[in-house]
């Protein structure tokens, strides 16, 4: 089977995340310790014990999700003898998961990735005052219909399709009033459901430009190596390996749409038959068959999952 490793984005965090890995593997404990040290913060304590209101803060959730993903990767490599370059043909990640994917493929050091995601989380939170932006899931509308809803709802404000997750599952993002108008318009246009998402900022839209500027500066100060396998980038749904191009696309990604459905289809086109999600939750593994029934999707986030996967290699 030709396999891609994919990495979850925000929303997959939960109190207790990574604790079973830390209990079972010294390698996982080392990853969490290295992230804590890089951030000068006891992030692993928040991950394992909460409180939830601290964990869901964007600046904590983003490095926390990356830490669990990288703990899974390192355990597979160090304890399981897996060679990532041979175990998968491509990597991809949903939004912040793109950083996890790049770290897994050797483009970033673990410490740099943790610091970048801390900066990214803080910058995204600061870009728009709380309560002025919003995101909403439009269920039952395809991308073109969702874009039409966003355009009609904008009325001079920012409102745009931000995440194309799967057929009939598109997220719009922008100014709160515009997104609220989109909820009404979407239902009029036949959406099965249109719901506001419990997020603290309007990600992946033009309102995030201050955060994109912050990431351009931060990414300019870190070393990016060519990944051992290509990344399928969120904003282009195409493969990339060149470090300068990766840097540019990561900046663009802050304000650009996450083209996840197209990314999965591009992976299929490249010969991928199965997507394996590494890290917290099972969101991406679950989306695979909604995007294309011929693809297999699975998730690895527990010691048992790791054992089962290693046996399949």
Between CA 254 and CA 18 the distance in angstroms is 26
Coil, helix or strand at residue 163 = strand
State how beta strands 193-196 and 3-7 pair: unpaired
Between CA 291 and CA 311 the distance in angstroms is 27
11, 284 in Cβ contact below 8 A? no
What Cα–Cα distance (Å) separates residue 175 from each residue in 186, 202, 210? 16, 7, 15
Q: What is the dihedral of CA 126, 158, 258, 70, to 10 degrees?
A: 10
Q: List, by residue number, the catalytic residues.
A: 95, 204
Instruction: Say what angle helices 58-74 and 110-127 make with each other, to 10 degrees.
Output: 160
Residue 25's closest CA among 310, 313, 312?
A: 310
Between CA 179 and CA 3 the distance in angstroms is 37
């Amino acid at each position: 089977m030709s396999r891609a490793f994919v990495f979850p984005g925000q929303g997959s965090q939960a109190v207790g995340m990574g604790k079973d890995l830390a209990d079972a593997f010294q390698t996982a404990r080392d990853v969490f310790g290295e992230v804590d040290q890089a951030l000068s913060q006891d992030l692993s304590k928040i991950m394992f014990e909460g409180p939830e209101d601290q964990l869901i803060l964007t600046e904590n959730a983003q490095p926390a999700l990356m830490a669990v993903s990288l703990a899974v990767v390192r355990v597979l490599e160090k304890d399981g003898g897996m060679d990532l370059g041979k175990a998968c043909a491509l990597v991809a990640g949903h939004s912040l998961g793109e950083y996890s994917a790049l770290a897994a493929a050797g483009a970033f050091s673990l410490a740099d990735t943790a610091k970048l995601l801390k900066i990214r989380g803080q910058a995204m939170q600061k870009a728009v005052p709380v309560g002025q932006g919003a995101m909403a899931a439009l269920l039952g509308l395809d991308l073109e219909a969702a874009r039409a809803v966003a355009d009609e709802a904008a009325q001079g404000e920012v409102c745009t399709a931000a995440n194309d997750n799967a057929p009939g599952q598109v997220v719009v993002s922008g100014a709160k009033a515009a997104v609220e108008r989109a909820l009404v318009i979407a239902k009029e246009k036949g959406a099965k459901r249109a719901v506001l998402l419990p997020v603290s900022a309007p990600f992946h839209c033009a309102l995030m430009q201050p955060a994109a500027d912050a990431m351009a500066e931060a990414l300019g100060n870190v070393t990016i190596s060519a990944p051992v396998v290509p990344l399928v980038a969120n904003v282009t749904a195409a493969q990339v390996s060149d470090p300068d191009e990766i840097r540019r696309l990561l900046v663009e990604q802050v304000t650009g749409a996450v083209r996840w459905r197209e990314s999965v289809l591009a992976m299929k086109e490249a010969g991928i038959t199965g997507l394996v999600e590494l890290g917290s939750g099972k969101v991406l593994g679950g989306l695979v068959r909604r995007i294309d029934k011929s693809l297999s999707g699975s998730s690895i986030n527990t010691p048992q999952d790791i054992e089962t996967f290693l046996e399949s290699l």
